[in-house]
Amino acid sequence: MSYNDEVARLLFEFADRLEATGVEYKPTAYRRAAENVAEYPEPIEQLAATGEDAVSEIDRVGDAIASKIVEYVETGEISELEDLRESMPVDMAALTSVEGVGPKTVGTLYEELGITDLDELEAAAEAGKIQEIKGFGAKTEQNILDNIPFARQSQQRERLGDARPVADTVTDYLAAHDAVDRVDVAGSIRRWKDTIGDIDVLVASDASEAVVDAFTDWPDADDVIEAGSHKSSVRADNVRIDLRVVVPAEFGAALQYFTGSKDHNVKLRNVAIDQGYKLNEYGLFDVSELDDAADGGDNEAADTDNADSQRAGVRLAGETETAMYDELGLDWIPPELREDTGEVEAAAEGSLPTLVETADIHGDCHTHSEWSDGRHSIAEMVAAAADRGYDYHCVTDHASGPGIIESIGLTDDDLREQMAAVDEARDDAAIDVFHGVETNIDVDGSLSTDDDLLAELDLVVASPHSALDQDTEAATERLCRAAEHPAVDIIGHPTGRMINSRKGLSVDLTVLAETAAEHETALEVNANPMRLDLHGEAVRAVVEAGGTVAINTDAHGPADFEHVRYGVRTARRGWAEAADVLNTNSSDELAAFLH
């Protein structure tokens, strides 16, 4: 985590704690400041070193917040935040991870019942104490109780978007060390799963102890959990990072083995056994001339205890992953596909998909400006898209409607007024600009924007923002009705989920994918790492239905465009090729789809 991200995290916490104590207005100011600090292109500590005036040059960072940032850089803490923590000693992150429990609720629960963590919250709900608080009730209490297990689970796994930057930082650090030949991540983070348990790092080196020493000396590590001659673990930003050092000749085998998934590896082991081979973390070996005792048999636990036994036989491959798969008669399988969902069979047949790449994306079809809840003007967002090399940019600010705060959503009159602003941006833009809207899908599938106005716009993204607790049948009917609407081009973040925060709608994704494909409506892969919605399995349903996905960042500022990589990787987990993705099209092709 960069220093900017760390400061932003503290400002977000400051906002939550202020809101929990009943302070008005200030929480919003702190959250907006946090967003702009997080996306500020220069290190915040360098600005802070020159004083508060320099820090206050960041948009929406006033003098009071600037002074707190300087205080943190200079002292390592913000005294006022420490006072807030002392006056209300609650685990804010854990409690607010329960769907329906916001900072204000945390404050009320602490004042009324002294609740400080999930265990105390669960005990109070089971005892029926929460429903006795004014403004609560039996239904609210039951909802809290029902959502606690999901919250506990969310505390055990990190969002990909939180862990991946940490992984990138540590691999870059290790790659610069003279003793390191190769370095890569493994495990679920290499498969780009939406949540991960820890970060697995694999290094190829003939000087393992030097690598371990460098790793344990990593400046960003908060503490060292354990250190050995070939393995070590540290903690950074509350994430455990496990390092394993192997000799270069076995790096490919170890990378394949520790990337997983378990089911994928079991399938590969069986492929190897059928050919008289043995596959493990040390390589691929021909053991056809060995007896079971010599090759360690097929007991994986015994193999792990005896590396020499695991290396028995004639080595066929091990230095690279590609050679491992090639010797098994398989095409190399991208990590995102390694879930034993048909990828091994496809690799044997030579029919693996050519997966979409980030470079294939030509524009973003779901973005926001300061007209709604974005942080920059339309012109600034368009210019940032052009700087990325995009061919077009779509303006899709929030329409007013269910689930949208009144001060954020645009009325029909506002949208018509915005047309002139978009026209002005078009005149000055180096790329094509499409004017659209993110309208809201009501509980019955109707839309919150007038049909006549929708017909005038270039692009319509329809998204659910309310009533996300519907049963599967109602939720599916709701989204299908929106997908059937003649003006709707894209269903935005279809389930409405927020990873580790709320489950979102339960939808029959096969039915939705088939309906959307029939009506030529794209289903979004929202690349915001808090959403990743649709998820990979749902993308697979769209691809198999012959439908289209749109990989959008839902950007509220230029820095959010960087999230596209998460959307692309999620789409790849669903076997999506460039032809399956709406915004791999040129501007003219996009316009043809929209019309």
Q: Structural domains in the chain? A: 3-156 (1.10.150.110), 158-246 (3.30.460.10), 260-349 (3.30.210.10), 358-594 (3.20.20.140)
For range 444-448, the mean pLDDT: 97
pLDDT per residue as tens digits for the range 532-571: 999 999 999 999 999 999 999 999 999 999 999 999 999 9
Euclidean distance between CA atoms 206 and 183, whole angstroms:
13
pLDDT of residue 164: 96
Least reliable range by pLDDT among 241-245, 252-256, 287-291, 326-330: 287-291
CA distances to 117, 142, 303 from 114, rounded to whole Å, are 10, 19, 52
Q: How many CB atoms are closer than 10 A to CB 538?
A: 23
- How far does the chain reach from its first CA to its final CA, in angstroms? 43
Least reliable range by pLDDT among 213-222, 305-314, 506-515: 305-314
pLDDT of residue 467: 93
Q: What is the CA radius of gyration of the chain?
A: 26
Strands 283-286 and 314-317, by their bridges, are antiparallel
DSSP code of residue 355: B
Is residue 265 within 8 Å of residue 300, measured between CB atoms? Answer: no
pLDDT per residue as tens digits for the range 274-286: 999 999 999 999 9
The model's confidence at residue 346, banded by pLDDT at 50, 70 and 90, is very high
Euclidean distance between CA atoms 302 and 296, whole angstroms:
7
Least reliable range by pLDDT among 57-61, 89-93, 208-212, 297-301: 297-301
DSSP code of residue 150: H
Q: Which two tokens stand for residue 521?
A: 């409506």
pLDDT of residue 305: 52
pTM comes to 0.84
Region label for 317, one of left (φ > 0), alpha (ψ between -120 and 50) or beta (otherwise)? beta
Angle between helices 536-544 and 564-573 (to 10 degrees): 60
Q: Which two tokens stand for residue 264?
A: 């994928």
Q: Which of 522, 454, 536, 520 is nearest to 487 (CA)?
A: 454
Task: Identify which has the larger pLDDT, 39 or 181.
Answer: 181
pLDDT of residue 592: 95
Q: Does residue 26 register a pLDDT over 80?
A: yes
Q: Which two tokens stand for residue 341?
A: 């969902």
Q: Is the peptide bond before 2 cis (omega within 30 degrees of 0)?
A: no
Euclidean distance between CA atoms 162 and 154, whole angstroms:
13
Q: Which of 204, 218, 229 is nearest to 319 (CA)?
A: 204
Instruction: State how far Cα 87 lies from the chain centre.
Output: 33
pLDDT per residue as tens digits for the range 69-97: 999 988 989 999 999 999 999 999 899 98
pLDDT of residue 299: 39
The model's confidence at residue 292, banded by pLDDT at 50, 70 and 90, is low
Q: Which two tokens stand for residue 298?
A: 């097929």
For range 90-108, the mean pLDDT: 92
pLDDT per residue as tens digits for the range 134-155: 999 999 999 999 989 888 877 7
Task: Identify which has the larger pLDDT, 572 or 56.
Answer: 572
pLDDT of residue 298: 44
Euclidean distance between CA atoms 343 and 388, whole angstroms:
33
* 326-338 burial: b if 16+ Cβ within 10 Å, else e: ebbebbebbbbbb
Q: Does residue 307 register a pLDDT over 80?
A: no
The model's confidence at residue 1, banded by pLDDT at 50, 70 and 90, is low
pLDDT of residue 324: 97
Share of the chain above pLDDT 90, in %: 82
Share of the chain above pLDDT 70, in %: 97
Instruction: State how far Cα 199 lies from the chain centre.
Output: 15
Sign of CA dihedral 188, 189, 195, 200: positive
Q: Does residue 13 register a pLDDT over 60?
A: yes
Euclidean distance between CA atoms 235 and 419, whole angstroms:
50
For range 380-397, the mean pLDDT: 97
Identify the H or E element spanning 17: helix 3-20
Mean of the per-residue pLDDT values for the chain?
Answer: 93
Q: E strands within 275-397? A: 277-280, 283-286, 314-317, 363-364, 392-395
pLDDT of residue 247: 97
According to DSSP, the residues that pair with 283 across neighbouring strands are 280
DSSP code of residue 490: E
